[in-house]
Each structure stands twice: as structure tokens, then as C-alpha cells.
Amino acid sequence: MSEQSSEFLASDQLLTHLQWRYAVKKFDPSRKVSPPDFHALEQSLILSPSSFGLQPWKFFVVNTPATRQQLLEFSFKQQQVVDASHLLVLALKLDVDEAYVDHYVAYTAKMRGIDAENLAGFGNVIKGFLGRMSEDDLKTWAKLQ
């Protein structure tokens, strides 16, 4: 086993962890998720797959008690919004347009160490796909990611 692969869960361990689900109805406000565990959660969100890799969303970490209290009104007054160790808000990006795609293609090229021109065809495919959508279709597509 390589040094890198030892950092990953074995497939049976992964399935065991995925099968355990629990909807928390009440949080103990005195208990906090550790910084390393929260960082791992953030990284898993960043690495979440999406169509074309565009990730038409943004995550907000809400830390301030006053803001959490304000969000309570829009969260069916669920006390978890205030009591949870961390509060994440998921928002859709509605500005997924040609400029967004161009930025994404340029960033992808930079990360891969290649010329952005090599990904021009990929960018055109994405633009063609998005260009056929109405604003409502784009919202629906983004929600389904």
C-alpha cells in the first residue's frame, strides 16, 4: 500500500460510514466540531462533483450569533440554526454565463499547467449547453447539481 493511499478509507469502511445517517433535531451548543474535522468537511464540499465541474453554488459559513438569529426567521424557527456548532448556507450561483465559463476554463488550464487554448473546445461545449437554457432552466439545472 502506498503512503498516499493509506490516508483513504477502505471501501468497506467507506460504505459503513455512508450507511450511518442521522437527522439531528437538537444540538448541544456547548459541543463544537473540531477545526480539523470542519476543515475536512469544507474540503469535501469544495470537491463535490457537478456537471462540467462548474460548481454553480457558493457555501457560506455563518459564524456570528446575530446573523444566525436573523436566519432563524427564514428557517422555520428551527433552533438548530442557532445551536449547531457550525452553520453552512448553500446558495446557487445565478451568474453562470460566458464570463464565468471563461474564468473557469482559464483556472482549469492554470491548475493543469496547460494553455487555456487547449481547453477552448471544452469551454465552447459548456457555453453551448448553457446558452440553450432559459433563466428558469439554468436555475433548475443549478439546483440539481
CA distance 63 to 66: 9
**Binned average pLDDT, 10 residues per bin, the chain of 145 residues:** 58 81 87 93 92 96 96 94 96 94 98 97 98 95 94
Q: How do the domains of the chain map onto residue ranges?
A: 1-35+52-92, 94-145
CA distance 121 to 12: 40
CA distance 84 to 62: 11
Torsion angles phi and psi, residue 79, rounded to 5: -65, -20
What predicted TM-score, i.e. pTM, was given to this entire model?
Answer: 0.74
Q: Determine the topology of domain 1-35+52-92 in CATH.
A: NADH Oxidase (3.40.109)
